[in-house]
A and B are shown apart, each in its own frame.
Chain A
Protein backbone atom coordinates (compact mmCIF):
# COMPACT_ATOMS: atom_id res chain seq x y z
CA UNK A 1 0.00 0.00 0.00
CA UNK A 2 1.21 3.48 -0.78
CA UNK A 3 1.01 6.23 1.78
CA UNK A 4 -0.40 9.43 0.45
CA UNK A 5 0.18 12.81 1.98
CA UNK A 6 -2.46 15.25 2.99
CA UNK A 7 -1.32 16.83 6.17
CA UNK A 8 -1.81 18.65 9.43
CA UNK A 9 -4.22 21.49 9.95
CA UNK A 10 -2.45 24.63 11.19
CA UNK A 11 -4.18 24.47 14.55
CA UNK A 12 -3.32 20.82 15.11
CA UNK A 13 -1.28 19.96 18.15
CA UNK A 14 2.18 18.86 17.13
CA UNK A 15 4.34 16.34 18.89
CA UNK A 16 7.81 15.09 18.04
CA UNK A 17 7.09 12.25 15.69
CA UNK A 18 9.08 9.39 14.28
CA UNK A 19 10.42 9.91 10.74
CA UNK A 20 7.63 9.62 8.21
CA UNK A 21 7.72 7.40 5.17
CA UNK A 22 7.66 9.63 2.10
CA UNK A 23 7.84 8.86 -1.58
CA UNK A 24 9.38 10.74 -4.46
CA UNK A 25 9.31 10.33 -8.20
CA UNK A 26 11.75 11.65 -10.80
CA UNK A 27 10.73 13.34 -14.01
CA UNK A 28 12.90 14.52 -16.88
CA UNK A 29 16.29 13.83 -15.28
CA UNK A 30 18.95 12.12 -17.36
CA UNK A 31 19.92 8.59 -16.40
CA UNK A 32 23.15 9.67 -14.71
CA UNK A 33 21.60 12.47 -12.68
CA UNK A 34 18.66 10.29 -11.71
CA UNK A 35 21.04 7.60 -10.50
CA UNK A 36 23.10 10.12 -8.55
CA UNK A 37 20.00 11.63 -6.96
CA UNK A 38 18.62 8.24 -5.87
CA UNK A 39 22.02 7.19 -4.53
CA UNK A 40 22.31 10.40 -2.52
CA UNK A 41 18.87 9.90 -1.02
CA UNK A 42 19.86 6.41 0.07
CA UNK A 43 23.09 7.69 1.60
CA UNK A 44 21.18 10.43 3.39
CA UNK A 45 18.81 7.98 5.05
CA UNK A 46 18.90 8.70 8.77
CA UNK A 47 20.02 12.27 8.18
CA UNK A 48 16.89 13.57 6.51
CA UNK A 49 13.87 14.43 8.59
CA UNK A 50 11.76 11.80 6.80
CA UNK A 51 12.52 8.51 5.08
CA UNK A 52 12.32 8.86 1.31
CA UNK A 53 11.69 6.09 -1.17
CA UNK A 54 11.78 6.41 -4.94
CA UNK A 55 8.61 5.23 -6.66
CA UNK A 56 7.50 5.13 -10.26
CA UNK A 57 4.27 6.90 -9.48
CA UNK A 58 3.38 10.48 -10.38
CA UNK A 59 1.24 10.63 -7.24
CA UNK A 60 4.30 10.44 -5.00
CA UNK A 61 4.61 12.89 -2.12
CA UNK A 62 7.37 14.71 -3.98
CA UNK A 63 8.13 15.19 -7.66
CA UNK A 64 11.75 15.93 -8.59
CA UNK A 65 11.54 17.61 -11.97
CA UNK A 66 14.30 18.64 -14.34
CA UNK A 67 14.23 22.21 -15.61
CA UNK A 68 10.89 23.48 -16.78
CA UNK A 69 9.50 20.03 -17.47
CA UNK A 70 5.74 20.26 -16.90
CA UNK A 71 4.33 18.63 -13.80
CA UNK A 72 1.22 17.56 -15.67
CA UNK A 73 0.93 13.91 -16.52
CA UNK A 74 2.14 12.67 -19.86
CA UNK A 75 -0.29 10.82 -22.08
CA UNK A 76 -1.13 7.44 -20.65
CA UNK A 77 0.19 8.26 -17.17
CA UNK A 78 -1.70 8.86 -13.96
CA UNK A 79 -2.09 12.51 -13.09
CA UNK A 80 0.02 14.06 -10.35
CA UNK A 81 -1.84 14.24 -7.08
CA UNK A 82 -3.56 17.56 -6.52
CA UNK A 83 -3.26 19.37 -3.22
CA UNK A 84 -0.19 18.86 -1.12
CA UNK A 85 2.26 17.23 -3.52
CA UNK A 86 5.61 19.00 -3.43
CA UNK A 87 7.95 19.72 -6.34
CA UNK A 88 11.72 20.21 -6.38
CA UNK A 89 13.17 21.59 -9.58
CA UNK A 90 16.62 20.55 -10.77
CA UNK A 91 18.40 22.95 -13.08
CA UNK A 92 21.48 22.68 -15.21
CA UNK A 93 23.50 25.76 -14.32
CA UNK A 94 23.85 28.14 -11.41
CA UNK A 95 23.45 31.15 -13.61
CA UNK A 96 19.80 31.94 -13.78
CA UNK A 97 18.78 29.07 -11.54
CA UNK A 98 15.82 29.62 -9.24
CA UNK A 99 16.69 30.17 -5.62
CA UNK A 100 14.68 27.14 -4.55
CA UNK A 101 16.06 24.81 -7.22
CA UNK A 102 18.75 22.17 -7.00
CA UNK A 103 21.63 22.87 -9.31
CA UNK A 104 23.68 20.30 -11.19
CA UNK A 105 26.05 18.81 -10.27
CA UNK A 106 24.10 17.64 -7.27
CA UNK A 107 25.53 18.14 -3.78
CA UNK A 108 24.44 15.92 -0.91
CA UNK A 109 23.94 18.73 1.60
CA UNK A 110 21.71 20.62 -0.81
CA UNK A 111 19.67 17.51 -1.60
CA UNK A 112 19.30 16.90 2.13
CA UNK A 113 18.14 20.47 2.75
CA UNK A 114 15.64 20.35 -0.11
CA UNK A 115 14.19 17.06 1.07
CA UNK A 116 13.80 18.40 4.60
CA UNK A 117 12.10 21.54 3.35
CA UNK A 118 9.74 19.43 1.24
CA UNK A 119 9.00 17.25 4.27
CA UNK A 120 8.26 20.31 6.38
CA UNK A 121 5.92 21.68 3.76
CA UNK A 122 4.13 18.34 3.50
CA UNK A 123 3.65 18.25 7.26
CA UNK A 124 2.50 21.84 7.49
CA UNK A 125 0.12 22.10 4.57
CA UNK A 126 -3.53 21.42 5.31
CA UNK A 127 -5.12 18.94 2.95
CA UNK A 128 -6.94 20.65 0.14
CA UNK A 129 -8.23 17.71 -1.74
CA UNK A 130 -8.14 14.19 -0.43
CA UNK A 131 -9.77 11.95 -3.03
CA UNK A 132 -12.94 10.49 -1.58
CA UNK A 133 -11.64 6.98 -2.17
CA UNK A 134 -8.53 7.52 -0.02
CA UNK A 135 -8.67 5.66 3.26
CA UNK A 136 -6.93 6.72 6.43
CA UNK A 137 -5.14 4.08 8.47
CA UNK A 138 -4.09 4.55 12.07
CA UNK A 139 -0.60 3.20 12.54
CA UNK A 140 -0.86 3.30 16.33
CA UNK A 141 -3.23 4.50 19.05
CA UNK A 142 -2.84 8.31 19.19
CA UNK A 143 -1.25 10.07 22.12
CA UNK A 144 -3.43 11.63 24.79
CA UNK A 145 -2.26 15.04 23.59
CA UNK A 146 -3.59 14.42 20.10
CA UNK A 147 -6.90 13.04 21.30
CA UNK A 148 -7.35 15.82 23.83
CA UNK A 149 -10.53 15.83 25.84
CA UNK A 150 -12.82 15.63 22.80
CA UNK A 151 -15.00 12.51 23.00
CA UNK A 152 -15.53 12.76 19.24
CA UNK A 153 -11.83 12.19 18.68
CA UNK A 154 -11.95 9.12 20.91
CA UNK A 155 -14.78 7.69 18.79
CA UNK A 156 -13.03 8.55 15.54
CA UNK A 157 -9.82 6.88 16.66
CA UNK A 158 -11.78 3.83 17.77
CA UNK A 159 -13.40 3.44 14.36
CA UNK A 160 -10.14 4.05 12.51
CA UNK A 161 -8.25 1.66 14.75
CA UNK A 162 -10.47 -1.14 13.50
CA UNK A 163 -9.63 -0.73 9.83
CA UNK A 164 -8.69 1.92 7.24
CA UNK A 165 -11.68 4.07 6.39
CA UNK A 166 -12.63 6.83 3.98
CA UNK A 167 -13.71 10.12 5.51
CA UNK A 168 -17.30 9.60 4.42
CA UNK A 169 -17.41 6.16 6.06
CA UNK A 170 -15.74 7.55 9.14
CA UNK A 171 -18.31 10.33 9.49
CA UNK A 172 -21.13 7.82 9.17
CA UNK A 173 -19.73 5.20 11.54
CA UNK A 174 -18.59 7.59 14.24
CA UNK A 175 -21.62 9.84 13.90
CA UNK A 176 -19.43 12.94 13.55
CA UNK A 177 -19.59 15.82 11.06
CA UNK A 178 -17.35 15.42 8.04
CA UNK A 179 -15.48 18.61 8.96
CA UNK A 180 -14.51 17.08 12.32
CA UNK A 181 -13.34 13.94 10.53
CA UNK A 182 -11.19 15.99 8.15
CA UNK A 183 -9.58 17.93 11.01
CA UNK A 184 -8.99 14.71 12.92
CA UNK A 185 -7.43 13.05 9.87
CA UNK A 186 -5.15 16.03 9.30
CA UNK A 187 -4.00 15.93 12.92
CA UNK A 188 -3.33 12.20 12.84
CA UNK A 189 -1.51 12.33 9.53
CA UNK A 190 0.49 15.41 10.36
CA UNK A 191 1.78 13.80 13.53
CA UNK A 192 2.72 10.52 11.91
CA UNK A 193 -0.06 8.50 13.54
CA UNK A 194 -2.14 8.04 10.41
CA UNK A 195 -1.35 7.44 6.79
CA UNK A 196 -3.40 7.70 3.66
CA UNK A 197 -3.88 4.66 1.50
CA UNK A 198 -4.52 5.60 -2.10
CA UNK A 199 -4.89 2.09 -3.43
CA UNK A 200 -8.32 0.58 -3.80
CA UNK A 201 -9.81 -1.34 -0.95
CA UNK A 202 -9.00 -5.03 -1.02
CA UNK A 203 -11.57 -7.58 0.03
CA UNK A 204 -11.08 -8.54 3.66
CA UNK A 205 -10.33 -12.13 4.61
CA UNK A 206 -13.16 -14.20 5.95
CA UNK A 207 -13.59 -13.93 9.72
CA UNK A 208 -12.30 -16.69 11.94
CA UNK A 209 -14.69 -19.57 12.26
CA UNK A 210 -16.95 -19.51 15.28
CA UNK A 211 -16.56 -15.81 15.97
CA UNK A 212 -18.03 -12.70 14.46
CA UNK A 213 -19.89 -14.33 11.60
CA UNK A 214 -22.18 -15.73 14.26
CA UNK A 215 -23.28 -12.31 15.49
CA UNK A 216 -26.89 -12.03 14.42
CA UNK A 217 -28.62 -8.96 13.13
CA UNK A 218 -29.62 -6.55 15.85
CA UNK A 219 -27.50 -7.99 18.63
CA UNK A 220 -25.30 -4.96 19.09
CA UNK A 221 -28.22 -2.57 19.14
CA UNK A 222 -29.96 -4.82 21.69
CA UNK A 223 -26.91 -4.69 23.91
CA UNK A 224 -26.77 -0.93 23.57
CA UNK A 225 -30.42 -0.68 24.43
CA UNK A 226 -30.05 -2.94 27.47
CA UNK A 227 -27.13 -0.90 28.80
CA UNK A 228 -28.75 2.42 27.88
CA UNK A 229 -25.84 3.31 25.63
Chain B
Protein backbone atom coordinates (compact mmCIF):
# COMPACT_ATOMS: atom_id res chain seq x y z
CA UNK B 1 0.00 0.00 0.00
CA UNK B 2 1.39 3.35 -1.03
CA UNK B 3 0.42 6.74 0.29
CA UNK B 4 0.21 9.92 -1.79
CA UNK B 5 -0.47 13.41 -0.60
CA UNK B 6 -2.12 16.59 -1.70
CA UNK B 7 -1.40 19.53 0.57
CA UNK B 8 -3.81 22.37 1.35
CA UNK B 9 -2.28 25.44 2.88
CA UNK B 10 -3.42 28.95 3.76
CA UNK B 11 -3.93 31.33 6.62
CA UNK B 12 -6.09 30.57 9.62
CA UNK B 13 -9.74 30.47 8.58
CA UNK B 14 -8.85 30.28 4.90
CA UNK B 15 -10.81 27.03 4.74
CA UNK B 16 -8.19 24.28 4.74
CA UNK B 17 -10.15 21.99 7.02
CA UNK B 18 -13.41 22.71 5.21
CA UNK B 19 -11.83 22.00 1.83
CA UNK B 20 -10.45 18.66 2.99
CA UNK B 21 -13.73 17.81 4.66
CA UNK B 22 -15.66 18.73 1.52
CA UNK B 23 -13.61 16.32 -0.54
CA UNK B 24 -13.92 13.53 1.98
CA UNK B 25 -17.72 13.69 1.97
CA UNK B 26 -18.21 13.39 5.69
CA UNK B 27 -15.42 10.90 6.29
CA UNK B 28 -13.65 11.64 9.56
CA UNK B 29 -10.87 14.19 9.67
CA UNK B 30 -7.98 13.61 12.01
CA UNK B 31 -5.98 16.35 13.63
CA UNK B 32 -2.43 15.37 14.32
CA UNK B 33 -0.25 17.27 16.77
CA UNK B 34 3.43 16.57 16.55
CA UNK B 35 4.54 15.67 20.05
CA UNK B 36 8.07 16.79 19.34
CA UNK B 37 7.03 20.29 18.28
CA UNK B 38 3.94 21.34 20.17
CA UNK B 39 2.90 24.87 19.27
CA UNK B 40 -0.04 26.81 20.59
CA UNK B 41 -2.39 29.07 18.70
CA UNK B 42 -3.45 32.47 20.14
CA UNK B 43 -6.14 30.79 22.23
CA UNK B 44 -3.64 28.40 23.73
CA UNK B 45 -4.82 25.35 21.81
CA UNK B 46 -2.23 23.05 20.25
CA UNK B 47 -1.72 23.64 16.54
CA UNK B 48 -1.87 20.57 14.39
CA UNK B 49 -2.54 19.59 10.85
CA UNK B 50 -5.77 18.13 9.59
CA UNK B 51 -5.82 15.17 7.34
CA UNK B 52 -8.17 12.69 5.90
CA UNK B 53 -7.61 9.92 3.46
CA UNK B 54 -9.31 8.27 0.56
CA UNK B 55 -8.80 4.67 -0.45
CA UNK B 56 -8.04 4.15 -4.13
CA UNK B 57 -9.21 1.09 -5.99
CA UNK B 58 -5.85 -0.67 -5.79
CA UNK B 59 -5.54 -0.17 -2.04
CA UNK B 60 -3.29 2.88 -2.23
CA UNK B 61 -4.26 5.87 -0.11
CA UNK B 62 -4.61 9.50 -1.07
CA UNK B 63 -4.07 11.68 1.95
CA UNK B 64 -5.31 15.24 2.01
CA UNK B 65 -3.47 17.44 4.45
CA UNK B 66 -4.49 20.87 5.67
CA UNK B 67 -1.31 22.46 6.91
CA UNK B 68 -0.35 25.88 8.21
CA UNK B 69 1.99 27.54 5.74
CA UNK B 70 3.88 30.03 7.85
CA UNK B 71 7.57 29.39 7.96
CA UNK B 72 7.58 28.75 11.71
CA UNK B 73 5.62 25.60 10.92
CA UNK B 74 8.04 24.40 8.30
CA UNK B 75 8.95 21.37 10.37
CA UNK B 76 5.41 20.18 9.68
CA UNK B 77 5.32 20.50 5.95
CA UNK B 78 8.85 19.94 4.79
CA UNK B 79 8.69 16.18 5.12
CA UNK B 80 5.13 16.09 3.81
CA UNK B 81 6.14 18.08 0.76
CA UNK B 82 8.80 15.59 -0.26
CA UNK B 83 6.34 13.12 -1.70
CA UNK B 84 3.38 15.42 -2.28
CA UNK B 85 1.65 15.39 -5.64
CA UNK B 86 0.91 19.07 -5.41
CA UNK B 87 -0.23 22.06 -3.41
CA UNK B 88 -3.51 23.91 -3.07
CA UNK B 89 -3.09 27.42 -1.69
CA UNK B 90 -6.22 28.93 -0.15
CA UNK B 91 -6.26 32.71 0.26
CA UNK B 92 -8.83 34.52 2.38
CA UNK B 93 -9.69 37.75 0.57
CA UNK B 94 -11.25 39.26 3.68
CA UNK B 95 -7.87 39.53 5.36
CA UNK B 96 -6.01 42.85 5.45
CA UNK B 97 -3.40 41.97 2.82
CA UNK B 98 -4.27 38.84 0.84
CA UNK B 99 -1.57 39.51 -1.75
CA UNK B 100 1.09 39.50 0.95
CA UNK B 101 -0.41 36.27 2.27
CA UNK B 102 -0.05 34.71 -1.16
CA UNK B 103 3.55 35.85 -1.44
CA UNK B 104 4.38 34.06 1.80
CA UNK B 105 3.07 30.76 0.49
CA UNK B 106 4.69 31.16 -2.91
CA UNK B 107 8.01 31.74 -1.19
CA UNK B 108 7.71 29.06 1.45
CA UNK B 109 6.60 26.36 -0.96
CA UNK B 110 8.73 27.50 -3.89
CA UNK B 111 10.41 24.13 -4.40
CA UNK B 112 7.20 22.14 -4.20
CA UNK B 113 5.45 24.46 -6.65
CA UNK B 114 8.35 24.24 -9.09
CA UNK B 115 8.63 20.47 -8.97
CA UNK B 116 5.00 19.39 -8.76
CA UNK B 117 1.76 21.30 -9.29
CA UNK B 118 -0.04 24.20 -7.67
CA UNK B 119 -3.45 25.80 -7.80
CA UNK B 120 -4.68 28.86 -5.92
CA UNK B 121 -8.21 29.34 -4.62
CA UNK B 122 -9.34 32.78 -3.49
CA UNK B 123 -12.06 32.69 -0.87
CA UNK B 124 -14.72 35.25 0.13
CA UNK B 125 -14.39 37.14 -3.13
CA UNK B 126 -18.10 37.89 -3.34
CA UNK B 127 -18.00 39.93 -0.15
CA UNK B 128 -14.45 41.18 -0.78
CA UNK B 129 -13.88 41.54 -4.53
CA UNK B 130 -10.59 43.40 -4.13
CA UNK B 131 -7.87 42.51 -4.79
CA UNK B 132 -9.23 40.89 -7.92
CA UNK B 133 -7.91 37.83 -9.73
CA UNK B 134 -5.70 39.93 -11.98
CA UNK B 135 -3.94 41.39 -8.96
CA UNK B 136 -3.22 37.86 -7.76
CA UNK B 137 -2.01 36.95 -11.24
CA UNK B 138 0.34 39.95 -11.15
CA UNK B 139 1.69 38.82 -7.81
CA UNK B 140 2.21 35.28 -9.12
CA UNK B 141 4.14 36.71 -12.03
CA UNK B 142 6.40 38.52 -9.58
CA UNK B 143 7.27 35.10 -8.20
CA UNK B 144 7.61 33.46 -11.61
CA UNK B 145 4.59 31.25 -10.99
CA UNK B 146 2.12 30.43 -13.76
CA UNK B 147 -0.70 28.35 -12.32
CA UNK B 148 -4.48 28.53 -12.06
CA UNK B 149 -5.99 31.10 -9.71
CA UNK B 150 -9.76 31.16 -9.30
CA UNK B 151 -12.49 32.16 -6.88
CA UNK B 152 -13.31 29.31 -4.54
CA UNK B 153 -15.99 28.60 -1.99
CA UNK B 154 -14.50 25.74 -0.01
CA UNK B 155 -17.97 24.74 1.19
CA UNK B 156 -18.90 23.93 -2.37
CA UNK B 157 -17.65 20.46 -3.29
CA UNK B 158 -17.62 21.31 -6.98
CA UNK B 159 -15.35 24.29 -6.37
CA UNK B 160 -12.87 22.15 -4.45
CA UNK B 161 -13.06 19.39 -7.03
CA UNK B 162 -12.21 21.95 -9.70
CA UNK B 163 -9.07 22.87 -7.80
CA UNK B 164 -8.01 19.22 -7.59
CA UNK B 165 -8.93 18.61 -11.22
CA UNK B 166 -6.66 21.45 -12.35
CA UNK B 167 -3.91 20.17 -10.08
CA UNK B 168 -4.09 16.71 -11.64
CA UNK B 169 -4.24 18.22 -15.09
CA UNK B 170 -0.92 19.94 -14.45
CA UNK B 171 0.65 16.65 -13.42
CA UNK B 172 -0.72 14.94 -16.52
CA UNK B 173 0.57 17.76 -18.70
CA UNK B 174 4.11 17.27 -17.56
CA UNK B 175 4.26 14.17 -19.74
CA UNK B 176 5.63 10.68 -19.37
CA UNK B 177 9.19 11.77 -18.67
CA UNK B 178 8.13 13.37 -15.40
CA UNK B 179 5.28 11.09 -14.56
CA UNK B 180 7.09 7.84 -15.13
CA UNK B 181 4.28 6.50 -17.26
CA UNK B 182 1.35 7.55 -15.12
CA UNK B 183 -2.01 6.90 -16.78
Binding site for B on A (CB under 8 A): 138-145, 154-155, 157-159, 161-163, 165, 173-174, 204, 207-208, 210-229
Pairwise interchain contact B62-A223, C-beta atoms closer than 8 A: yes
Min CB distance, B139 to chain A, in Å?
10
Task: Select from chain A the residue with minimum beta-carbon distance to B111.
Answer: A208
Q: B48 to nearest A CB, angstroms? A: 25
Task: Name 11 interchain pairs, CB-CB below 8 A, sorted by A.
Answer: A140-B141, A141-B146, A145-B134, A158-B166, A161-B146, A162-B174, A207-B178, A208-B115, A214-B180, A222-B56, A226-B62
Q: Which of B30-38, B69-77, B91-99, B147-155 contacts A (4 or more CB under 8 A)?
A: B147-155
In the bound complex, residues from chain B placing their C-beta under 8 Å from that of A211 are: 82-84, 115-116
B31: min CB distance to chain A, Å: 22
Q: Is B171's CB within 8 Å of the partner chain A?
A: yes
Task: Point out the residues of chain B lying under 8 angstroms from A143, CB to CB.
Answer: 133-134, 137
Whether a CB of chain A sits under 8 angstroms from the CB of B179 is yes
- Establish whether residues B147 and A141, one from each chain, have CB atoms under 8 Å apart when the complex forms: yes
B2 interface contact, C-beta 8 A: yes
Q: How far is the CB of B136 from chain A (nearest CB, A)?
A: 8
Known A-B contacts A213-B180, A216-B180; A224 and B57 likewise in contact (beta carbons under 8 Å): no
> Is the beta-carbon distance between B147 and A161 smaller than 8 angstroms?
yes
Give the interface SS of chain A, mostly helix, strand, loop or mixed: helix
Q: Contact at B116–A154, with CB atoms within 8 Å? A: no
Min Cβ gap B142→A in Å is 10
- CA distance in complex: A159, B133 (Å): 19
Please tell me if the beta carbons of B180 and A215 are within 8 angstroms of each other in the complex.
yes
Complex CA gap A211/B140 in Å reads: 23
Contact of A140 among B54, B137, B161, B168 (CB under 8 A): B137
In the complex formed, the residue of B with least CB distance to A224 is B168
Let me know if A212 and B161 touch, CB within 8 A: no
Given A141-B147, A173-B173, A222-B58, decide whether A229 and B161 contact each other with a Cβ distance below 8 A: yes
Q: Which of B57, B149, B171 contacts A212 (CB 8 A)?
A: B171
Contact of B100 with A by CB under 8 A: no
